Structure formats: C-alpha cells, structure tokens
Amino acid sequence: MSDCPLANDCPRYSERINGMGCQYYGDRAGSEWCNSYEQPIRDLKQQPVKPSEDVVVTVDDIHESGAGVGRTEDGFIVLVDGLLPEARAVVRIDQVKSNHARSKKVVERLPLDPDEVEDEAAGTSDTDEESGEESDDDGPKRPTALGSRDNFWGS
C-alpha cells in the first residue's frame, strides 16, 4: 500500500507499519480512493471544506429538499438542514461532494451583519439618543415577497 497524497491534511491518517502508508487509501476502478471519506482523492483535493469542520455560512436561498442553501466566505455551496434563508451561522460539515457540502448541525447562529457584532461589543443599544425611547424596530425589514399572502397579486 502506497502513501496517500492527503496524508498531511487528513485527520484520520494513520500508519499501520512505519512506511506502509494510510490504511484507508486504496484503488477503485483505476482511481485513487479514500475509504475513510468514501470519495475519490481528486474530489477531496479540490474541496475548501472538510468533513467535521466548522465553517461560517450565509444562507440566502432554499433547496427543493427544504435545506437552506448557503455559501462560505470562499463561495463554496453548503446545504444546511434546519436553517432557512436570510441567516448566518457556524455549521459543522457532515458530507463533502465535488461541488457542494451538506450540514445537519448548526453550531451557532450569528447576526446577518458582521458589523452588528462589533456594535454590540462597543455597547450600543436600540435606544434613540434624541428621545431616549426604545425603537420598535425588530430588525431589517424585508420586502413583501410576490405571491405571499400580503402581496399575492404584486400590488
């Protein structure tokens, strides 16, 4: 068994006998294969995320399966179960494919605007400085979607 090309980056890499190589590395149908991840090595080399890695995802669409469709900062697509559009969260990657990843666990929800975290740390609040009253704004207002109950005919 030869050495796996992912040995330096793989958290599951282990040598059975010194110099023998990775116990998960194999050859299937003429291509290098990782039995640990059940994927070809060429697909694993191209992915910006790895299974069991925590990444920040911004979800802005919904898939036909009901999962939220989001992107990492690199632009890699992640399907997140249990997270609907207009959300930002830290998720744990479960499965990585050649052009997308899947996640079933949301580790932490984050505010949509990254600057909002800095404002909270600085001690700003939702009070109006001039009048001293609390604002009744519940966050950014989204336009009423066409086809919704409130805007069915687009008026």
**Sign of the Cα pseudo-torsion (53, 59, 61, 66, in order):** positive
Residue with tokens 């009901």, as numbered in its chain? 66
Smallest Cα–Cα separation from 89: which of 99, 104, 98?
A: 104
**pLDDT single digits (tens) 45-62:** 667 888 889 999 999 999
Average pLDDT over residues 96-105: 88
Higher-pLDDT residue of 117 and 112 is 112
pLDDT reported for residue 41: 75
Q: What percent of the chain has a predicted confidence (pLDDT) above 70?
A: 58
- Of 91, 87, 86, 89, give the one whose Cα is nearest residue 103: 91
- Average pLDDT of the chain? 75
The pLDDT confidence band at residue 42, using thresholds 50, 70 and 90, is confident
Tell me the one-letter amino acid at 126: D
**pLDDT higher than threshold 80 for residue 73:** yes
pLDDT of 145: 61
The yes-or-no verdict on residue 93 having pLDDT over 90 is: yes
Going from the C-alpha of 65 to that of each of 62, 68, 90, 93, 102, the distances in angstroms are 8, 9, 21, 18, 12
Whole-model pTM?
0.51
**In the prediction, which pLDDT does 141 show?**
64
Q: Domains of the chain: which residue ranges?
A: 1-46, 54-110
Pairing of strands 77-80, 87-96: unpaired
Would you state the pLDDT for residue 37? 74
Q: Please give the CATH topology (third level) of the domain spanning 54-110.
A: OB fold (Dihydrolipoamide Acetyltransferase, E2P) (2.40.50)
- Token output for 145: 């979607």
